[in-house]
Amino acid sequence: MSDDCTTPQYKAITCFLPAGRAQGVLERLRKEMAIPSAFAYHARGSGLATRRDKSRPEYVEREMITALVPAERADEIFRFIFFASGIDQPHAGMVLMTAAPCAEMMCMSDDIPDEA
């Protein structure tokens, strides 16, 4: 990796998707796209569009996926996540991509035994 942190070699892709879909997308990312550097987490929130009336918001459950991907494959992975997560449908979520200029992949040595 270059010492110059201004040249991004990786991109971070974050996807907001309906609850219950993240695990399947993570498995597909690992198996079909060979991307091991992704994780999912759960979120809940509300906004102006989720208010039932003027006083009470409705909270929406979402899952989020973040993946660190090589910059040269970022567009390919972005497209894969977009369709694999089902957010190509209206109001199903969104996906964002940003440069990760100082990111670096960490790999475990092959001689470390698996935990039993």
Is residue 31 domain-resident? yes
Confidence check: pLDDT of 6 > 70: no
The pLDDT-based confidence of 1 (bands split at 50, 70, 90) is very low
Please give the tally of structural domains in the chain: 1
CA atoms within 13 A on the CB side of 7: 5
* Core vs surface per residue 44-53: b (16+ CB within 10 A) or e: eeeeeeeeee
How distant is the alpha carbon of residue 1 from its chain centre? 23
30-66 confidence digits (pLDDT tens) = 999 999 889 999 988 877 665 566 667 777 889 999 9
Range of the domain at 51: 10-99
Is residue 44 domain-resident? yes
- H helix or E strand, kind and range, residue 84: helix 74-84
Q: Count of CB atoms within 10 A of residue 81's CB?
A: 25
88-114 confidence digits (pLDDT tens) = 988 888 999 998 877 766 666 677 776
User: 97 — phi, psi (to 5°)?
Assistant: -135, 140
pTM of structure: 0.75
Confidence check: pLDDT of 2 > 50: no
80-90 confidence digits (pLDDT tens) = 999 999 999 88
Rounded to an integer, the average pLDDT of 3-8 is: 52
CATH number of the domain that residue 43 is part of: 3.30.70.120
